């Protein structure tokens, strides 16, 4: 089955720095990869999606890279702010014929940005 590992359970950085979160996967090449943010007591919120044939995607202060050779995605938050503190989840899906497959989620990295 698909295995997804996110680099660490917790990451603490200072405000203004760039946070870099890692997502590694094994066994299958995903059709695409998604990143979500989850705050305590709430459901995850979609942030970015990157396809297997894309190297990089940006949205405001967020950047995602996707290296299918390394089987790795990096998620960057530039100019981080305390409001960015949350758990970040990566999720991937592979094609299953002509239908959509299920999403596999990593266990998340808890990011804390301190002033």
Partner 1 sequence: KAGVTQTPRYLIKTRGQQVTLSCSPISGHRSVSWYQQTPGQGLQFLFEYFSETQRNKGNFPGRFSGRQFSNSRSEMNVSTLELGDSALYLCASSLASIRDMERYNEQFFGPGTRLTVL
Residues near partner 1 (CB under 8 A): 1, 32, 34, 36, 41-46, 49, 51, 89, 91, 93, 98-108
Structure tokens at 3: 């295995």
Nearer to partner 1, 97 or 115 (CB): 97
Tell me how far apart the alpha carbons of residues 106 and 6 are, in angstroms, rounded to a whole number: 6
Nearer to partner 1, 75 or 104 (CB): 104
CB-hemisphere CA count at 13 Å for 99? 2
Minimum distance, C-beta of residue 76 to partner 1, in the bound complex (Å) = 20
Distance CA 71, CA 33 (A): 11
Give least dist CB 15 to partner 1, A.
Answer: 27
Tell me the CA distances in angstroms from 100 to 21, 35, 67, 96, one per residue in order: 26, 18, 22, 6
* Minimum distance from residue 39 beta carbon to partner 1 (Å): 11
Output 41 or 115, the one with its CB closest to partner 1: 41
CB atoms within 10 A of CB 23: 26
Kindly tell me which of 36 and 66 has the beta carbon lying closer to partner 1.
36
Smallest gap from Cβ 13 to partner 1, in A, equals 22
């Amino acid at each position: 089955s698909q295995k997804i590992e996110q680099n660490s359970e917790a990451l603490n950085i200072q405000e203004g720095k760039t946070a870099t979160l890692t997502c590694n996967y094994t066994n299958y090449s995903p059709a695409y990869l998604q990143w979500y943010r989850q705050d305590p007591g709430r459901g995850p919120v979609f942030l970015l999606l990157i396809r297997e044939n894309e190297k990089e995607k940006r949205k405001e202060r967020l950047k995602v890279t996707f290296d299918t050779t390394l089987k790795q995605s990096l998620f960057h938050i530039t100019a981080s702010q305390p409001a960015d503190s949350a758990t970040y989840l990566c999720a991937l899906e592979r094609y299953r014929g002509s239908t959509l497959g299920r999403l596999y989620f990593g266990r998340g990295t808890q990011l804390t940005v301190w002033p």
